[in-house]
Structure 1
Amino acid sequence: MPAIRQSICFGCFNRGDVTPEQVISEAAKTGFKSVEMLSREHWQKVIDAGMKIAIIGGHGSLTDGLNKPENHDRIEDELNRNIETAVEFGIPSLIGFSGNRNGLPDDEGVAICAEGLKRVTAHAEAKGITICVELLNSKVNHPDYQCDTTPWGVEMCKATGSPRVKLLYDIYHMQIMEGDLIRTIRDNIDYIGHFHTAGNPGRRDMDETQEIYYPPVMQAVADTTYDGFVGHEFGPKGDPIEAMRAAYETCQMG
């Protein structure tokens, strides 16, 4: 059984008096294997600390994304450039976004997103970079976002016909939209390229004040063939470094 490769989302912990250097240093000391979603000026510091950058943004934007054909030229260019950047820095994955529905039927959204992604799948496959379209809740945080359920996301992945298009399965967001986390993860692990965590409600620490019991969820991930990263993306209630360490202990398996 492999250990969970844990990552932190940089911006969640680089707050208050905590410097970028402290975030990176403490992450490495704690046992994290990655720091993700941070500006390019800090990438070499992460690499020098012996960690990877698990994932970065692939294109803009969350609300105005792949489900608009008029965006495809722009997104193709952004993804192609970021695929090359990812190769240069050893970054395995890029984040993609469906965009908001704005009245678009879900079946049409699947087809349009897939067509946009097909423009770059040959490049992604050749370079070994995975595009992870993020699952987000449309109930609380991102009203009208289209990629808001696992079945929709899986259908989109299948429609691209590429093993380099997967989902960023955000456990916090999918708890809000679907629940049934362990079964969903087990049944769809082949289509998941990255995970994010946070406590629900509130998107805060994964402590006893929120409803997701993370150890068995992480055990379910560890019991599959998944070999990617689990990134912590929550707003710490207190000291960011202590919150980082607590998250690591909560989710460490194997």
Structure 2
Amino acid sequence: MPGRCGSKWYALETWGTGLGLAQSYCPGGGAEGGREGLQPHLLHRIHLMAGRVPQGVDRAAVKGEMEMVFLENLRHAAGVLAQENLVGLLEPINTRITDPRYFLDTPRQAAAILQKVGRPNLQLQMDIFHWQIMDGNMTGNIREFLPIVGHVQVAQVPGRGEPSSPGELNFPYLFQLLEDEGYKGFVGCEYRPQGETVAGLSWLRSYQDRWGHP
């Protein structure tokens, strides 16, 4: 649902797993553009997107202003979401492969922003695909940032296939680490199936055998 308010663009985008608020940025624009159209939704969590660095603009030159706008919008969004008992999620998206202009690209940057906002209903979304590409160090990052994580997403690196597909990540180890560290939330499957969707879910059987069907 795209729209415009002053010099700020916003969009509400829906996916199969939830609702995302996409906030873009214009140099010199205020924070109001990302607020228009923000409506409560009957979901427990909502992805609050950070927007992109403007085309042709140096990231370092606008980082401070972009962060200021993002912080203002997050404080506003947190208040709206709190009225409906909803949690807002910040997801770092890698800028090496997926979206070179995306503003929020590392878990440490996202954690620092969450600390500055200081709202308990804003949390970190751990997309293991993006975290591995930007930082690696998955064991250390999971242990450091898991206390503020509200949702986890998985995909293999670099092909973004099922966790059982060939790649860099040892998902049995990572799933065990999440369990050992006390994670109790959902794990979303945000990957591209290499074949048929149902066949691609065969990797879940070993976990169903262990924990049983939901």
On whether the aligned pair clears a TM of 0.5, the verdict is yes
Which of 53, 57, 60 is residue 22 of structure 2 equivalent to? 60
Which residue identity is paired with 1:78? G
Which residue identity is paired with 2:37? E
More displaced, 109-118 or 234-243? 109-118
TM-score by length of 2: 0.79
Match of 2:124 in 1: 167
Say if 2:170 is the partner of 1:213.
yes
Change (3 A) 1:128 1:149: same
TM-score by length of 1: 0.67
Deviations 1:202-233 (A, max 9, x none): 11122251110111111221223433211001
- Residues of 1 paired with 2:65 and 2:205: CA distance? 42
Paired residues for 1:87-98 under 5 Å: 91-98=43-50
RMSD: 2.4
Paired residues for 1:32-71 under 5 Å: 37-38=15-16, 55-60=17-22, 64=24, 70=29
Change (3 A) 1:120 1:152: same
Deviations 1:83-135 (A, max 9, x none): x222xxxx210011111223343444333311111112223233221111221
Question: Aligned to 1:60, what secondary structure does the other structure show?
Answer: strand
Say if 2:54 is the partner of 1:76.
no
- Residues of 2 paired with 1:251 and 1:189: CA distance? 21
Change (3 A) 1:177 1:241: same
The answer to whether the Cα contact below 8 Å between 1:214 and 1:250 also exists between their aligned partners in 2 is: no
Which of 85, 88, 91 is residue 41 of structure 2 equivalent to? 85
Question: Aligned to 1:166, what secondary structure does the other structure show?
Answer: strand
**Number of aligned residues:** 192
Identity %: 22
Q: Which runs of 5+ in 2 are unaligned?
A: 1-13
Deviations 1:227-253 (A, max 9, x none): 32110011111121011232x246667
Decide which structure has greater helix share: 1
Decide which structure has greater strand share: 2
- Residues of 2 paired with 1:137 and 1:250: CA distance? 30
Question: Aligned to 1:70, what secondary structure does the other structure show?
Answer: coil
- Tell me: higher relative CO, structure 1 or 2? Use CA pairs within 8 A at least 6 residues apart: 1
Change (3 A) 1:234 1:225: same
Q: Which runs of 5+ in 1 are unaligned?
A: 1-35, 39-54
